[in-house]
A and B are shown apart, each in its own frame.
Chain A
Amino acid sequence: MAKIAIRINGKLFQEDIPERMLLVDFIRESANLTGTHIGCTYEGVCGACTVHLDNEAVKSCMLLAAQADGHDITTVEGLAQGGELTALQEAFKSEHGLQCGFCTAGILMNMTDFLKQHPNPSEQEIREGLIGNLCRCTGYVHIVNAVLKVVQENQLKKA
């Protein structure tokens, strides 16, 4: 067993865990934060388990929980502050950026990091940024529209 301490959404979780436990399982089962999803039986291809590790988007099925010891994790539950959704979450709502919602948490986490790194992306850049996230419902059109809406809002605010 490995003794680990991981801060998730600002709260410290300290536990003894089996070394082979994947980070996504620690998040879902030890921290009980089930917004982070497993879409591809830990194959690392669907992106539904994307979280922020020290503010960068990573797939949490691609890491052992022990690798996140001492690090800060943010999950989809940590995006809204004081019950207020982020602009990206609002845009997903208004642009119908989700249907079944299974991929949404991972896409929100990836695109939140993406927009920090690329504040003014083209549609093509957004689509390339989404390569690591599979959505089987929307065909991505409304997801891309939601991200573009946030970009346009931010540009208007700057102007």
Chain B
Amino acid sequence: MYPAPIHRYSRPLTLEELYALLNSNDDDVLVLAGGQSAMQAVKSRMLRPSHVIDLQALSELKFIRTKKGTLTMGAMMRYVDIVSSDLIPLELAALQDAASRVGDRQVRNRGTIGGSLCWNYSAACTPATVLALDGKINLISQGGSTRQIAADDFFLGPLETARSESEILLSVDFKLRGAKSGSAYKKWGLITDALPVIGMATCLHFDNTDRCKHVRIALTGLANGAERCTAAEAVLAGTDISAEKITQAMSAACEEVSTYSDSIATAAYRHQLIKTIGSDVLNIAKKRAFGLA
């Protein structure tokens, strides 16, 4: 567990400096955000970067901004920043649920939302949360040109994303749906705050007659990494998210995802986790949507 030789370390102060570095044609460049996952891979030599580009000094990536019904979060916002921010409205509380329980407090003092999304570990909390919140990911490439990609299209499977090596994750957009919207994230792992065996996130928005007009549910911890539970969403769409509907939806979720038994849990136990945690997050999100939590 010690890094292989690294030949260059740089710390750009501006996006212009960053583009220039990305253009430098160095082989095996590693862009380092908080480094709480990437450095583990460097130490185990799963990654052997020749050039480490450290984003820590890029103040342009540290912000939360709300404009025209969209909250935009910079990639270098750390978990501790997300938890302590008063700029995140209750309808996006799933972000704070997830950030407050990542790893341990030392990790939360360094780890960032952008780093976690780009790493896309199969049991990470942030990708599933951003997927449930229908986040739109803003990528910027060498020349400064930007593109936006929906979380649905960004996560391609464990450790795989749609980001090309020449792109940097700049920020994530979250649509603010306003009144009667709520979200939640919860996980279960072998020890407190561990990577989850199962983690689930949801986002709900109710119409004037208290029927759910927008529902997304995402799951993390299984072999596919962050994934939507679309069959469960279909059961809940247009309903009042009653206890009975939640039970039906979670049965549908268990059927649609592929679970397995291993030394950590049996497939049946994973199904029970999906039912229990899924019901919890739906109930919490519903309460939050109606101002009851």
Which A positions have Cβ atoms within 8 angstroms of B? 2, 18-20, 22, 41-44, 47, 50, 53, 56-59, 61-64, 66-67, 69, 110, 113-114, 127-129, 131-133
Complex Cα distance, B7 from A22, in Å, reads 14
Q: How far is B105's CA from A38's CA once the two chains are assembled, in angstroms?
A: 18
Is B103 at the interface (CB under 8 A from chain A)?
yes
B106 near A57 (CB under 8 angstroms)? yes
B 1-44 binary contact with A (CB < 8 Å = 1; else 0): 11111111101000000000000000000001001100110010
CA distance A10 to B39 in the complex (A): 27
Q: Decide if B109 touches A18 in the complex (CB within 8 Å).
A: no
Q: Is the CB of A58 within 8 A of B8?
A: no
Is B52 engaged at the interface, CB distance under 8 Å to the other chain? yes
Interface centre among A20, A41, A50, A113 (most CB of B within 10 A): A20
B104 at the interface (CB under 8 A from A): yes
Question: How many angstroms between the C-alpha atoms of A64 and B110 in the bound complex?
Answer: 13
Q: Are A66 and B9 in contact (CB under 8 A)?
A: yes
Return the CB mask of B71-98 against A: 1 if under 8 Å, else 0: 0000000001000000000000000000
Residues of B within 8 Å of A63, CB to CB, are: 35, 39, 110
For residue A114, which residues in chain B have a CB less than 8 angstroms away from its CB?
A: 105
Contacts of A58 in B (CB 8 A): 106, 109-110
**Quick one: which of A20, A53, A62, A132 contacts B6, CB cutoff 8 A?**
A20
A-B contact count (CB 8 A): 88
Cα distance A54–B109 in the bound complex, in angstroms: 11
5 chain-A/chain-B pairs, Cβ below 8 angstroms? A42-B2, A58-B110, A63-B39, A113-B105, A128-B193
- Interface class of chain B by DSSP: loop
List of B residues within 8 angstroms of A42 by Cβ:
1-2, 43
For residue B248, CB closer than 8 A to chain A, the reply is no
In contact, B4 and A20 (Cβ under 8 angstroms): yes
Residue of B nearest to A41 (CB): B1
Query: Would you call B56 an interface residue if the criterion is a C-beta within 8 Å of the partner chain's C-beta atoms?
Result: yes
7 extra interface residue pairs, beta carbon distance < 8 Å, beyond A20-B5, A22-B2, A44-B40: A19-B5, A53-B109, A62-B36, A64-B39, A66-B52, A131-B192, A131-B193
Q: How far is the CA of A66 from the CA of B8 in the complex (A)?
A: 10
For the complex of A and B, list the 5 residue pairs with the smallest distance between their C-beta atoms, beginning with the closest.
A132-B104, A19-B6, A20-B3, A131-B104, A66-B9
Residues of A within 8 A of B106 (CB): 47, 50, 57-59, 62, 110, 132
Report yes or no: A64 in contact with B105, Cβ–Cβ below 8 A. no
Q: How many residues in B have their beta carbons less than 8 Å from beta carbons of A?
A: 30
> Could you tell me which B residues sit within 8 Å of A by CB distance?
1-9, 11, 32, 35-36, 39-40, 43, 52, 54, 56, 80, 103-107, 109-110, 191-193
Asked whether B54 lies within 8 Å of A67 as measured between CB atoms, the reply is: yes
Instruction: Name which residue of chain A comes closest to B43, CB basis.
Output: A42
B46 to chain A, nearest CB (A): 13
Residues in B neighbouring A59, C-beta threshold 8 A = 106-107
B109/A131 in contact, CB under 8 A: no
Question: Contact at B105–A67, with CB atoms within 8 Å?
Answer: no
The distance in angstroms between the C-alpha atoms of A55 and B179, with both chains bound, is 39
> Are the C-beta atoms of A132 and B2 separated by less than 8 Å?
no
With a 10 A CB-CB cut-off, give which of B3, B40, B105, B107 has the most chain A CB atoms. Answer: B105
Instruction: Report the nearest B residue to A62, measured CB to CB.
Output: B39
Contact B9 A62, beta carbon cutoff 8 Å: no
